[in-house]
Amino acid sequence: KQVVTGRKPTSAQLHLMFTTEVNLSQIGPYIDYLTKKQGVKSVFVNGTTGESLSLSVAERKMLAKEWCEKANGKMEVIVHVGCMSLKDSQELAKHAVEIKADAIAVMAPFFLKPKTAEALKLYLQEVSSAAPVLPFYYYHIPAITGVHVPARDVIAGIQELIPVFRGVKFSGTDLMDLGQCVSSSPPQWSFLYGVDEQLLAGLAMGADGAVGSTYNYLGCHVNKLIAAFEKHDLDQARKIQFKLQELLGFATNFGFDLGVNKQVMNDVSGLLLGPPRLPVMPCPPTHAQAIAKKYFELFTEC
């Protein structure tokens, strides 16, 4: 007979909580939620929020394939293929071609870090050479990689090395660097800004779009922010940006991280996206519920 003691989880329960597996069955409903409820038109798969660097190459392939198959014309799919090993990145880049991804992105490896823009560019070129037909984005996220080479130095002359280069997913806070990237680039390149709490500043500096963890549940509001900015309605754009800041400021009190974000995604969308993988800890349900409550106070359905 099993004795349920109430508070302390048994070691078997703990094992279940922390041994997370990817769950492909949720990707179809997730795409429907993003496209129909959030008005999201593109997805950035296996990035930071997707915990790519905590997944095996095989898992990343399964996920990318499922996203491409299920998205099938409903959304554009950009697959992040950056790894610590060049060989793994090339394998994922080749795979992205096979599954007909729309584009790939690559962050700097960050165990043995590139010390110069030249080294990083050579690395990016080698990855792109495994998928020479796919549009290529550099994923600049210095707070995570610890690679602080300015993005403007990475993209200088990069088209000669990577003819399919299309832009930068810019998740840095250095707006001068973003501005210098924009002002030195051909108009067909895109700069996708990735610091949700200051998107409006990124747009003012010339970003063309946004990729961020909170857009899983704020996509339609952020589309409105972008539309207001494009109409020069700064008051409206600021109103939305300030509400997003209020939500993130509130969530920061609970140690906002991937685990918290994932739980908020579950609570707001009603999807069963599961907990994060170790070493990221699952968010205590009471914390996520408080953040979701704040979300519903600040944002009405679009």
Ligand X SMILES: CC(=O)N[C@@H]([C@@H](O)[C@H](O)[C@H](O)CO)[C@@H](O)CC(=O)C(=O)O
Q: Which is nearer to ligand X, 28 or 209 (CB)?
A: 209
CB of 55 to ligand X, least distance (A): 13
Directed axis angle between helix 86-98 and helix 57-71, to 10°?
20
Q: How many helices (H) and strands (E) does the chain have?
A: 14, 7
Whole-angstrom CA distances from 282 to 122, 147, 278, 295 are: 37, 28, 8, 19
Q: Is 248 in the site for ligand X (CB under 6 A)?
A: yes
Binding mask 120-159 for ligand X (x = CB under 6 A): -----------------------xx---------------
Q: How far is the C-alpha of 2 from the C-alpha of 98, rounded, in Å? A: 49
Q: Is 255 in the site for ligand X (CB under 6 A)?
A: no
Apex CA 124: angle with CA 85 and CA 184, to 5°?
A: 150
SS3 140: strand
Binding mask 47-76 for ligand X (x = CB under 6 A): xxxx--------------------------
Among 213, 216, 241, 269, the residue binding ligand X under the rule CB under 6 A is 213
Choose one: 42-50, 60-68, 180-188, 269-277; the region binding ligand X (CB under 6 A).
42-50
Q: Is 195 in the site for ligand X (CB under 6 A)?
A: yes
Q: How far is the C-alpha of 118 from the C-alpha of 36, rounded, in Å? A: 43
Please indicate whether residue 169 is annotated as part of the active site: yes
Q: Which is nearer to ligand X, 133 or 149 (CB)?
A: 149
Q: Is 44 in the site for ligand X (CB under 6 A)?
A: yes
CB of 259 to ligand X, least distance (A): 12
Q: Quick one: DSSP state of residue 33? A: I
Catalytic residue among 30, 33, 137, 139: 139
Binding mask 158-187 for ligand X (x = CB under 6 A): -------------x----------------
Q: Is 77 in the site for ligand X (CB under 6 A)?
A: no
Which residue numbers belong to the known binding site? Answer: 49, 211
β partners of residue 95 = none
Among 109, 114, 167, 212, the residue binding ligand X under the rule CB under 6 A is 212
How would DSSP label each residue in 63-113?
Answer: HHHHHHHHHTTSSEEEEE---SSHHHHHHHHHHHHHTT-SEEEEEPP-SS-
Whole-angstrom CA distances from 67 to 38, 75, 76, 233, 275 are: 17, 9, 10, 35, 19
Number of residues that bind ligand X (CB under 6 A): 17
For binding to ligand X (CB under 6 A), which residues are involved?
44, 47-50, 143-144, 171, 194-197, 211-214, 248
Query: Catalytic positions, please?
Result: 139, 169
